[in-house]
Structure 1
Amino acid sequence: MKNTQRNELAVCGFAAVKTLEKINSQKIRRLYFMEEKAPLFGGLCKKMAASKRPYNKVADSVELEKLCGSVHHQGVVAMIDTPVILPLNTEITARWVEQKEDAVILDRVGNANNLGAIVRSAAFFGIKNIVIPLDESQSSITTSSYRVAEGGMEFVNIYSVRSIPFLLKDMKGKMARFGTSLKAQKKVSEMKLLCQEKPALVVLGNEEKGISEEVAQNCDSLVIIPFAGMGEAGPKVDSLNVAQAASVIMYELKK
């Protein structure tokens, strides 16, 4: 939940706030917690007091719900500046190529919880770069995505682009460009071989339509996660949840 007057975002959930404390405690402008959580945030309260930032013990969970707009606060809410998503530029992509850093592009993934789950998996597998389009159908960083990421937001860089096809065209020959598709002939297990020592740039589409045709045309390879009965009539369900698919693909890239 955003506080537009103060230009703040509420971060809630124990793991999210605790990781924020460990990695980026300077981001926290205000802290609120229930009494039973006080012993777990004593060190952070000392830091807040030393830098004259307010922290408060609240009487009940209703106050926290009002702050973060969620019943899933787990007894603690931290207010941070609204995250600024940096536009991707050639300097950043050149670093990816030089340092062989993989990246994941989300093509209109609109569910905030899915974004958070993808960030969590990216942090787990050590993939530091996620790209989202400047599109109203694409979820951005929200209180929900921050909570579901379980602290992963502190380890992943999220960038924005105006055009995914333009980015893919620009990275031709520099990174191995993959798109996910139920029509693909290659399996995700082949990705490492197909990379040929290049870092991977993987596009994940939304669950309703997948990646766009223009995006698919600008990929070096389309890949599929094998499913039960593959080669017959098709999968028993249309697809995996995009966050589940992201985890499988990231595992294949890093195994």
Structure 2
Amino acid sequence: MKNSQKKELAVCGFEAVKALAKKNPDKIRRFYYTEDRMNCFGDLCRFLAKHRVPYNKVKDDKELEKLCGSVHHQGVVAMIEQPEILPLDSDITDIWVRQNESALLLDRVGNANNLGAIVRSAAFFGVKNIIIPLDEAQSSVTTSSYRVAQGGMEYVNVYSIKSISKLLMALKGKMLRLGTDVNASVPVEKIRDLRKGKPVIIVLGNEEHGISKEVKQNCDELIIIPFAGEGKKVGERPIESLNVAQAAAIVLYECR
């Protein structure tokens, strides 16, 4: 949930706020908690008191619901400045190439919870670079995505781009460009053979339509997560595909 007047974002959920307090307590502008969470955030309250940042115990859960717009606050809400999504440029991608860092590129993943789950998996597997297009169909960093990421937002960098295809063209030969596609023939476990020491940029598609045709044309390989019933066409499968966040976890595991 955003506070447009103050340009703030509410971070809620126990694990999300705990990670924020541990890694970036200086981001917190205000902090609210229920009585049963008081002992869990003593160090944070002392930090905030030292830096004259307000923190308050609320009377009941409804106060927190109003602050964050969610019943899933788990007894804590921290207000931070609305995160700035930095534009990606060649200086940053050159560093990735030199340091052999991989990245996730989201092609209009519209659900905030899916974005949060993808960030959680990326943080778990040590992929700290997430790229999102400046597109209305693409979810950005929200209260929901922060909560579902379970603290992962503190361990990734989110960048924005105007054109996915132009980015992929610019990275040709520098990073292995992999797209996920339910009609591909290359199984996901072949990633290790395909890498040949290069960093990887993995494209994950929209929940309904997958990655676009233009984006597919700018990938080095299209990969598939093998399913039960080898040889069946998409329409013949009991489940057409995995949720994009589930697919992200599997692909990231194979990219380790």
Q: TM-score, normalised by structure 2?
A: 0.98
Mean alpha-carbon deviation: is it higher for 185-194 or for 220-229? 185-194
Query: Within 2, Cα distance between the matches of 1:15 and 1:68?
Result: 15
- How much does 1:30 deviate? 0.2
1:206 paired residue number: 206
Query: Within 2, Cα distance between the matches of 1:207 and 1:2?
Result: 24
Secondary structure in 2 matching 1:223 = strand
Mean alpha-carbon deviation: is it higher for 41-50 or for 113-122? 41-50
1:88 paired residue number: 88
Gaps of 5+ in 1: none
Mean alpha-carbon deviation: is it higher for 39-48 or for 65-74? 39-48
- How much does 1:78 deviate? 0.1
Contact 1:114 1:243 in 2 (8 A): yes
- How much does 1:233 deviate? 3.6
Write out per-residue CA displacement over residues 116-157 of structure 1, whole angstroms, 9 at most, x where no aligned residue: 000000000000101000000000000000000000000001
Give the paired residue count: 254
Contact 1:146 1:153 in 2 (8 A): yes
Q: Which contiguous aligned blocks of 4+ residues in structure 1 show a shift greater than 3 angstroms?
A: none
Residue in structure 2 matching 1:252, options 247, 251, 254: 254
Query: Within 2, Cα distance between the matches of 1:207 and 1:74?
Result: 28
Contact 1:12 1:68 in 2 (8 A): yes
1:56 paired residue number: 56
Q: Which amino acid aligns with 2:243?
A: N
Write out per-residue CA displacement over residues 174-215 of structure 1, whole angstroms, 9 at most, x where no aligned residue: 000000111111011001211121100110001210000000
Query: Within 2, Cα distance between the matches of 1:170 and 1:193?
Result: 23
Q: Which amino acid aligns with 1:179?
A: G
Query: Within 1, Cα distance between the matches of 2:196 and 2:126?
Result: 20
Contact 1:102 1:201 in 2 (8 A): yes
Secondary structure in 2 matching 1:132 = strand
Write out per-residue CA displacement over residues 85-110 of structure 1, whole angstroms, 9 at most, x where no aligned residue: 00000010000100000101000000
2:188 paired residue number: 188
Q: What aligned pairs does 1:25-44 form with structure 2 within 5 A after superposition? A: 25-44=25-44
- CA RMSD across the alignment: 0.7
1:236 paired residue number: 238
1:223 paired residue number: 223
Contact 1:207 1:239 in 2 (8 A): no
Secondary structure in 2 matching 1:67 = helix
Query: Within 2, Cα distance between the matches of 1:253 and 1:166?
Result: 23
Query: Within 2, Cα distance between the matches of 1:232 and 1:202?
Result: 25
- How much does 1:236 deviate? 1.5
- How much does 1:232 deviate? 2.2
Query: Within 1, Cα distance between the matches of 2:56 and 2:208?
Result: 43
1:10 paired residue number: 10
Mean alpha-carbon deviation: is it higher for 227-236 or for 5-14? 227-236
Contact 2:110 2:207 in 1 (8 A): no
Query: Within 2, Cα distance between the matches of 1:3 and 1:230?
Result: 50
Percent of aligned positions that are identical: 63
- How much does 1:238 deviate? 1.5
Secondary structure in 2 matching 1:232 = coil
Write out per-residue CA displacement over residues 61-94 of structure 1, whole angstroms, 9 at most, x where no aligned residue: 0000000000000000000000000000001000
Q: Which amino acid aligns with 1:230?
A: E
